[in-house]
């Protein structure tokens, strides 16, 4: 007989209507949501095995790679980060981490827990790294692995990667890239840029619910796994076992999150349907329109010019405007969620995401008109519709509707 | 310009009709599936924060505990195991693990990777441990943590726990319990039995898709976390940060899997609606009916009598009957999935699950009649409908329909 009494059973949960324009999760396409509701099949069912194969092939397209070891880890993007670090690092291995925001800093913490000898190079929030800095850092402190973030979710900074792998490889190291916020939003050419290991998340530009972490590892990284002298410290994230589960022998490891894998498969099918080029162009145009709209009402951007992601804009909160008051009003009156600043940018910026299914012209104008209203009501002098007009001028450049 | 060409975008995935009567995942209640398809809200949205609170309270009922530290880890049941081990263990700590199947053996592997000094006691597949064995083992090798599996998914063995915590506490150790297959299927009284730490999964008797790992930790375990001298080796599974994310300060850690948390909340609401007592009785009756049905056609059970779980039955495959041929036919002709044996029981047993929403009278009779047909077609002499009749006699005992 249970001793703790039965709580009143709640009615089915009904989420309020939201427009997710923060740093993630982003709004999920209806086809992906429908997939989540389909009946389960077993994780070793031949049909599910087929779905895993199909997902791997679709992921290879999204990552632009032929890497065999391309799969979705059964955790969120942070589990992807930990997977890459604990598999490539053995205790005492030197690792160089490039830190220009929260997620670079997190990689340091993860690497230290894996007992790496961590060296860092740092850049202020909103800036990115020059290849030469990395070259110098590796000369001073040779490393086994170099970790860098392509799209810093805390700052909206877009790190160019094209020249970095060569420098890293010349120094005998592996390049590990955080692509949580970049995958399927801006170009990421894993093979052409010779990146050795990448992790991502599902809830940003893939517009899938959070819960899986796509990863891909190239030949050099796979050799490093094979040459390990110690077991990976995490059983759950040990790729030597996970790859056998996703591979041809279907060795049982853990029970894959069935419904989440349904969702990822549909999200990736939508990427294939649209095509990466069109998808990148859509994100670029929406971001450019948003940034033009903000400029038109005098709102500055926190991220250094030339390094701004289109899918995540860090807008400077105007002097005298209360961060939380605006965000609460956006949520209450329009159902719009945007993100607040993190670390040194707390209270100073809004992080506005136009990601995946959310990167649509209608969201740009909805957000700008809502923001204009909020600011005007707070006494900020904002010319009526100036931001929407400036954004629309950008959006109309292509002569085609920007939607999905 | 992407270099790898665009694959043909696949049509939406349509899973085949299945009846999941294996060791998990189990069939998911329609209300839970519908929840998965609802639009996302942000993971820091006040409404989602409310859903997390509500989920914690419903989980406390399922676990029969007042433990504050009760939440769902963002990974599958195996991530739950790793969470408990890496948080309670510091390098060099002694741990005693009771091994009578695959999941006890997995706990040894996880603990060794966390650099515990592991001692084991072992029992053959299908058997359980006596309290005295544990007392003796702790006398010979004092431990900081004792790990034991309440419901061994590889063997169907049901470990009694009522007397064990006292023995473990007398020896100054903590009791950590694997309740992946037991939670909400058979009684589990975390507070009354003084269990210090428990982990579970969502895809067994909770009938929720796999992807989250409910855990609960009592006062002794929380003191142990607070007294740690080293950081938890896993950043992703570090409860000191996860509890602040689920706790009142809502400290950002990772992005919770929104849709999976919607699903868990509904699955737990269904547990509260039915009540644990009724739910346990339903599982007990279905398991008893299945086991009576198997006996009526001469099929033995692999698990020792007196230790058999009702929700997971390990049936001995009759001599001369081909394991895979039967399982393939069940899947192809009836859509029924059952599990094969693991380890020494591979090819020797079928693992038949009647879990959560799957624990229904109709599934018992569907399975038995399908099995009878398969066996008869393979030349086994089976009296027509004998198993179904024997099962029905059990199911009709209560005079009430066994369904949900």
| Per-residue pLDDT, B355 | 98
| Residues of B whose CB is below 8 A from A253 | 78
DSSP structure string for A127-169: ----HHHHHHHHHHS--SEEEEESEETTTTEE---TTHHHHHH
| Residues of B whose CB is below 8 A from A237 | 236
| Per-residue pLDDT, A401 | 63
Residue B111 pLDDT class (50, 70, 90 cuts): very high
Residue A248 pLDDT class (50, 70, 90 cuts): confident
The residues near A92 (Cβ < 8 Å, ≥ 6 apart) are A115, A116, A117
| Per-residue pLDDT, B397 | 85
The residues near B228 (Cβ < 8 Å, ≥ 6 apart) are B90, B240
Q: Answer yes or no: is pLDDT of B81 > 90.
A: yes
Query: Out of B2, B236, B262, whose CB is closest to A277?
Result: B2
B258 in Cβ contact with B52 (< 8 Å): no
Residue B402 pLDDT class (50, 70, 90 cuts): low
B77 Rama sector, left if φ>0, alpha if ψ -120 to 50, beta otherwise: alpha
Exposure b/e, B335-358, CB count within 10 A at least 16 = b:
ebbbbbbbeebeebbbbbbbbbbb
Is A58 in Cβ contact with B7 (below 8 Å)?
Answer: yes
Q: Answer yes or no: is pLDDT of B24 > 90.
A: yes
* Segments forming the whole domain that contains residue B351: 275-398
Q: What is the mean pLDDT of residues B179-193?
A: 98
User: For B166-205, where are the E strands, in sequence order?
Assistant: 174-178, 197-199
- Domain stop point among A212, A239, A273: A273
| Per-residue pLDDT, B18 | 98
What pLDDT, in 10s, does the model give residues A221-239?
A: 999 999 999 999 999 999 9
B195 in Cβ contact with B166 (< 8 Å): no
Query: Out of A3, A38, A77, whose CB is closest to B192?
Result: A3
Distance between CA atoms of residues B188 and B63, nearest Å:
6
The residues near B30 (Cβ < 8 Å, ≥ 6 apart) are none
Is A181 contained in some domain? yes
- Domain stop point among A273, A296, A312: A273
| Per-residue pLDDT, A6 | 94
Residue indicated by tokens 């009756």? B285
Is B21 contained in some domain? no
Is A404 contained in some domain? no
Q: What is the mean pLDDT of residues A328-353?
A: 97
If you ran DSSP here, which 8-state letter would residue B273 be given? H
| Per-residue pLDDT, B398 | 77
- Domain stop point among A273, A294, A313: A273
**CA separation, residue B195 to residues A77, B55, B63, B228 (Å):** 32, 21, 10, 20
| Per-residue pLDDT, A147 | 98
Distance between CA atoms of residues B310 and B42, nearest Å:
39
Is A10 contained in some domain? no
Grouping H, G, I as helix, E, B as strand and the rest as coil, residue A37 is coil
Q: Answer yes or no: is pLDDT of B401 > 70.
A: no
| Per-residue pLDDT, B250 | 83
When mean pLDDT is compared across A34-43, A247-256, A315-324, B210-219, the lowest value belongs to A247-256
What pLDDT, in 10s, does the model give residues A146-185?
A: 999 999 999 999 999 999 999 999 999 999 999 999 999 9
Is B394 contained in some domain? yes
Do B156 and B220 have their domain in common? Answer: yes
Is A13 contained in some domain? no
Is B25 contained in some domain? no
Q: What is the mean pLDDT of residues B271-285?
A: 97
Of A155, A183, A109, A127, the closest CA to residue A351 belongs to: A155
Do A362 and A265 have their domain in common? Answer: no
A18 in Cβ contact with B39 (< 8 Å): yes
Q: What is the mean pLDDT of residues B231-253?
A: 93
User: For B53-161, where are the E strands, in sequence order?
Assistant: 69-73, 94-99, 117-122, 145-149, 151-152, 157-158
Q: Give chain A's mean pLDDT.
A: 96
Of B334, B89, B318, the closest CA to residue B225 belongs to: B89
Q: What is the mean pLDDT of residues B301-330?
A: 97
Is any Cβ of chain A less than 8 angstroms from the Cβ of B29? Answer: no
How many Cβ atoms from other residues are within 10 Å of residue A15's Cβ? 16
A332 in Cβ contact with A308 (< 8 Å): no
Grouping H, G, I as helix, E, B as strand and the rest as coil, residue B180 is coil
Do B228 and B158 have their domain in common? Answer: yes
Do B50 and B197 have their domain in common? Answer: yes
| Per-residue pLDDT, A404 | 60
Q: What is the mean pLDDT of residues A45-69?
A: 97
B95 in Cβ contact with B144 (< 8 Å): yes
Do B181 and B200 have their domain in common? Answer: yes
Query: Out of B47, B54, B112, whose CB is closest to A16?
Result: B47
Do A241 and A383 have their domain in common? Answer: no
Is A127 contained in some domain? yes
| Per-residue pLDDT, B251 | 86
**What percentage of chain B has pLDDT greater than the value 70?**
98
Substitution target from A14, A15, A273 for chain B, most B beta carbons within 10 A: A15
Per residue, what are the HEC states of A215-269?
A: EEECHHHHHHHHCCCCCCCCCCCCHHHHHHHHCCCCCCCCCCCHHHHHHHHHHHH
Distance between CA atoms of residues A374 and A354, nearest Å:
20
If you ran DSSP here, which 8-state letter would residue A17 be given? P
Do B210 and B70 have their domain in common? Answer: yes
A315 in Cβ contact with A290 (< 8 Å): no
Do B268 and B326 have their domain in common? Answer: no
What pLDDT, in 10s, does the model give residues A261-285?
A: 999 999 999 999 999 999 999 999 9
Q: Give chain B's mean pLDDT.
A: 96
Q: What is the mean pLDDT of residues B18-43?
A: 97
Do B188 and B65 have their domain in common? Answer: yes
Residue indicated by tokens 């997902």? A55
**What percentage of chain B has pLDDT greater than the value 90?**
95
Do A160 and A292 have their domain in common? Answer: no
Query: Out of B18, B64, B233, whose CB is closest to A3?
Result: B64
- Write out residues 106-165 of A within 8 Å (CB-CB) of B: 106, 109-110, 112-114
Q: Answer yes or no: is pLDDT of B120 > 70.
A: yes
Of A81, A391, A40, A38, the closest CA to residue B34 belongs to: A38
Is any Cβ of chain B less than 8 angstroms from the Cβ of A347? Answer: no
Question: How many domains does chain B fold into?
Answer: 2
Token couple for A215: 């990863």
What pLDDT, in 10s, does the model give residues A102-115?
A: 999 999 999 999 99
Q: Answer yes or no: is pLDDT of B316 > 80.
A: yes
CATH of the domain at A123: 3.40.640.10
Q: What is the mean pLDDT of residues A179-199?
A: 98
| Per-residue pLDDT, A403 | 64
Residue, of B249 and B127, whose pLDDT is higher: B127
The distance of A58 to chain B (nearest Cα, Å) reads 7
Do B247 and B298 have their domain in common? Answer: no
B63 in Cβ contact with B70 (< 8 Å): yes
Q: Answer yes or no: is pLDDT of B37 > 90.
A: yes
Q: What is the mean pLDDT of residues A197-214?
A: 98
Give CA A77 to chain center in angstroms: 7
Residue indicated by tokens 């085949």? B16
Distance between CA atoms of residues B144 and B72, nearest Å:
24
- Write out residues 69-88 of B within 8 Å (CB-CB) of A: 74-79, 82
The distance of B383 to chain A (nearest Cα, Å) reads 31
Nearest CA in chain A to B41: A18
CATH of the domain at B354: 3.90.1150.10
Residue A101 pLDDT class (50, 70, 90 cuts): very high
Is any Cβ of chain B less than 8 angstroms from the Cβ of A2? Answer: yes
Is A82 in Cβ contact with B254 (below 8 Å)?
Answer: no
Per residue, what are the HEC states of A323-387?
A: HHHHHHHHHHHHCEECEECCHHHCCCEEEEECCHHHCCHHHHHHHHHHHHHHHHHCCCCCCCCHH
Distance between CA atoms of residues B101 and B183, nearest Å:
18
How many Cβ atoms from other residues are within 10 Å of residue B115's Cβ? 16
Strands B213-217 and B197-199, bridge-based pairing: antiparallel
Do B78 and B193 have their domain in common? Answer: yes
| Per-residue pLDDT, A250 | 83
Is B34 in Cβ contact with A37 (below 8 Å)?
Answer: yes
| Residues of A whose CB is below 8 A from B232 | 113
The tally of CA atoms less than 13 A away on the side-chain side of residue B370 is: 22
| Per-residue pLDDT, B64 | 98
Distance between CA atoms of residues B298 and B294, nearest Å:
6
| Per-residue pLDDT, A3 | 83
């Amino acid at each position: 007989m249970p001793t703790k009494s039965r709580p009143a059973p709640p009615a089915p949960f009904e989420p309020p209507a939201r427009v997710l324009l923060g740093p993630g999760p982003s709004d999920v396409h209806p086809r992906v949501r429908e997939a989540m509701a389909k009946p389960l099949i077993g994780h070793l069912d031949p049909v599910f095995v087929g779905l895993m194969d199909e997902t791997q092939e679709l992921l290879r397209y999204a990552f632009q790679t032929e890497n065999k070891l391309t799969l979705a880890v059964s955790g969120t993007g942070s589990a992807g980060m930990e997977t890459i670090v604990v598999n490539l690092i053995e205790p005492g291995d030197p690792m160089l981490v490039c830190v220009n925001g929260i997620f670079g800093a997190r990689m340091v913490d993860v690497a230290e827990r894996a007992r790496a000898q961590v060296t860092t190079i740092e850049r202020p929030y909103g800036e990115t790294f020059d290849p030469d800095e990395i070259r110098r850092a590796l000369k001073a402190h040779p490393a086994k692995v170099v970790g860098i973030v392509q799209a810093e979710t805390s700052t909206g900074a877009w790190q160019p990667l094209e020249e970095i792998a060569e420098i890293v490889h010349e120094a005998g190291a592996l390049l590990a890239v955080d692509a949580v916020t970049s995958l399927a939003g801006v170009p990421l050419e894993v093979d052409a840029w010779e990146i050795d290991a990448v992790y991502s998340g599902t809830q940003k530009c893939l517009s899938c619910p959070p819960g899986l972490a796509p990863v891909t590892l190239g030949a050099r990284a796979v050799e490093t796994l094979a040459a390990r002298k110690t077991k990976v410290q995490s059983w759950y994230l040990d790729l030597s076992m996970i790859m056998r589960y996703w591979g041809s022998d279907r060795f049982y490891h853990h029970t894959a999150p069935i419904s989440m894998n349904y969702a990822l498969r549909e999200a990736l099918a939508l990427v294939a349907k649209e095509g990466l080029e069109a998808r990148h162009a859509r994100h670029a145009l929406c971001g450019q329109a948003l940034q033009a709209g903000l400029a038109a009402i005098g709102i500055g951007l926190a991220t250094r010019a030339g390094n701004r992601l289109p899918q995540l804009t860090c807008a400077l909160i105007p002097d005298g405007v209360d961060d939380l008051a605006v965000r609460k009003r956006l949520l209450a009156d329009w159902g719009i969620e945007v993100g607040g600043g993190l670390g040194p940018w707390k209270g100073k910026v809004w992080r506005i995401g136009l990601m995946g299914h959310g990167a649509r012209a209608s969201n740009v104008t909805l957000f700008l008109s809502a923001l204009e209203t909020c600011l005007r009501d707070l006494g900020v002098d904002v010319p009526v519709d100036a931001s929407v007009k400036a954004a629309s001028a950008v959006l109309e450049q292509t002569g085609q509707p920007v939607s999905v």
